[in-house]
Structure 1
């Protein structure tokens, strides 16, 4: 079940339910995509209805950031588990390793993918790594795109982890639905954290919705403008959503015959 939070329809349920449902999609050999949503994605979707439509057509959209978890409670009274990409990625790799499910990684630099390969071999020795591909930082030609689709489909992989960053990875996955014949999941910044290229915030910062602040200290030049705009925009949008909800609840009393 999905519930609307401003511009996105977020999937509800326990953390374990998300793992189990993704594994079920793998078994069904379904061409679909899964989005891992945070405040940045929500504001991007609010500002771009076409992007919102892409995310909302996903088979599953997880509440990555704590602000979305809290918003679910504020707007719908649902105490939702956080389903962060930084937790989901290693947990899925653990499951696929134990079940011998072949995986494929698409996106990121070659250095990152080299580290990914070494990390998986060391951390998940039972894993079946079907392939890794670092695409060029430019628009692909049709021939290149077709070659990549064929390469992934012929690799034997059963799930594709996509690390292109938001919103590029979501748009790419949507364009590949019906072409890449397996579930695709956008893991964005979770991959460099998992393999050790970046550090994750301490748990107390994660629980207090200040993980973004820790990331900002690591990449101030790249992230300052994004966080300054998106965080303030989200607070305003959530405030408006709460006010609109209160007004809609009062309207039957104000208009008893309507």
Structure 2
């Protein structure tokens, strides 16, 4: 069963059908369609529109941790970032129902940055990472996509944030005039920040993109396309960063399989 996201929510006027995964509505769209919808929405946004890219980790954490589940419920769009999530979305499709496609954070970022050529009013903001990373990322995106309009960038402090820190982040976004904010704080921090700050954030499209900053800046190599298409990107990332990712992937991949088998 599909349904559009709730048009009565002030930030959510994005034409997008959804189907449920573990009780959460996930977009049935494509990178091209969603990037176009966001590009059209961003310049006219009257409220924050929050977009989460949900892989296996995000979906299972939403079930396993009720507080994080409440965070996901505040998102205006949840994209299927991960082939297992896509496979779950397409499980038991009826005749004529549309099959979901993967919409990963890095791919969505690439598409929406590229869309600046057709939508010159888009003004992008990079939030997350250190200053060196942000400088490299901005330069790489501008070199690859000359129409890219970088309105601003901000590297938040690495200590636990105070209310003053949070206010400084909001003010940096507001003063830049950005209408697309790329939030590269890592999961689950970026989604928590967006949800907690939703009522205070300046109007814009906010997209949590995790490792996309490192991928596009070239500091971390992304898995080959054939691994991405076959749901093996997680294995490649474990190979590249075993100390940081092995435990996380083993835990959440196992939980995902368990939730599927038990009809969650």
Is the TM-score greater than 0.5?
Answer: yes
Partner of 2:114: 94
Partner of 1:227: 249
Report the number of matched residues: 242
- Which structure shows the higher helix fraction? 1
Deviation larger for 227-236 or 10-19: 10-19
TM-score with structure 1 length normalisation? Answer: 0.88
TM-superposed deviation, 1:94:
0.6
Q: 1:195 to 1:98 in 2, by over 3 A?
A: farther
Deviation larger for 130-139 or 164-173: 130-139
In 1, Cα distance between equivalents of 2:52 and 2:20: 15
1:240 and 2:262 are equivalent in the alignment: yes
Does the 8 Å contact 1:38/1:68 carry over to 2?
Answer: yes
Partner of 2:173: 152
Cα RMSD, aligned residues only: 1.6
Flag structure 1 segments of 5+ consecutive residues without an equivalent: 245-258
Flag structure 2 segments of 5+ consecutive residues without an equivalent: 1-16
In 2, Cα distance between equivalents of 1:88 and 1:13: 12
Runs (4 or more) in structure 1 with deviation over 2 Å come to 13-17, 75-78, 96-100
In 1, Cα distance between equivalents of 2:69 and 2:245: 22
Partner of 2:52: 35
1:130 aligned counterpart, secondary structure: strand
Question: What whole-Å deviation, never above 9, does each CA across 1:114-152 have from its counterpart, x for those lacking one?
Answer: 211221221122222111111111222222322221221
Partner of 2:211: 189
Task: Show the 5 A alignment for 1:149-228.
Answer: 149-180=170-201, 181-228=203-250
Partner of 1:142: 163
2:26 aligned counterpart, secondary structure: strand
In 2, Cα distance between equivalents of 1:150 and 1:110: 18
2:176 aligned counterpart, secondary structure: coil
Larger Rg, first or second structure (1 or 2): 1
Does the 8 Å contact 2:53/2:104 carry over to 1?
Answer: yes
Deviation larger for 69-78 or 89-98: 69-78
